[in-house]
């Protein structure tokens, strides 16, 4: 599901203001907003420190595991975090810009 974009509306601002004990990531999930959007509102408008919150857990911690069967499954949360943390700076030459898969990356 795509995250909402644009400014926060009054209801969302009210929700953020009245949940000071919750983490920004939890509030963002409830409001279907990005964590950065919520953190920005908390730090700029409310003047609270968002750096003291827990650091983002590695994607591997969000995987579902069945140790007895040797299975690991990517959960929706793990997939979303992988997308958010993935580097978008892929340096490709002009000939490879439109390629979906590159067999020999040395060319």
Residue 100 falls within a domain, yes or no? no
Choice between 103 and 34, residue whose per-residue pLDDT is larger: 34
Cβ–Cβ under 8 Å, residues 44 and 7: no
- 3 and 49 in a single domain? The answer is yes
- 72 and 25 in a single domain? The answer is no
Confidence of residue 96 (pLDDT cuts 50, 70, 90): low
- 3 and 43 in a single domain? The answer is yes
* pLDDT over 80 at 42, yes or no: yes
Q: CA-CA distance, 5 to 33, in Å (whole number)?
A: 7
Q: What b/e string do you get for 48-59 counting C-beta neighbours within 10 Å, with b at 16 or more?
A: eebeeeeeeeeb
* 3 state DSSP class of 66: strand
> Which pTM value belongs to this model?
0.45
- 5 and 33 in a single domain? The answer is yes
Domain that holds residue 61: 57-84
For residues 93-98, give the mean pLDDT. 67
- 1 and 26 in a single domain? The answer is yes
Q: CA-CA distance, 107 to 102, in Å (whole number)?
A: 9
Choice between 30 and 45, residue whose per-residue pLDDT is larger: 30
* pLDDT over 80 at 55, yes or no: no
| 49-52 long-range contacts, CB within 8 A, separation 24+ | 50/24
């Amino acid at each position: 599901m795509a995250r909402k974009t644009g400014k926060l509306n009054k209801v969302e601002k009210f929700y953020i203001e009245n949940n000071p004990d919750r983490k920004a990531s939890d509030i963002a999930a409830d409001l279907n907003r990005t964590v950065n959007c919520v953190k920005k509102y908390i730090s700029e408008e409310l003047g609270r420190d968002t750096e003291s919150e827990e650091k983002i857990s590695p994607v591997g911690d969000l995987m579902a595991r069945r140790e007895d069967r040797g299975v690991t499954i990517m959960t929706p949360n793990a997939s979303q975090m992988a997308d958010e943390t993935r580097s978008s700076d892929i340096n490709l030459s002009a000939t490879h810009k439109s390629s979906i898969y590159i067999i020999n990356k040395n060319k």
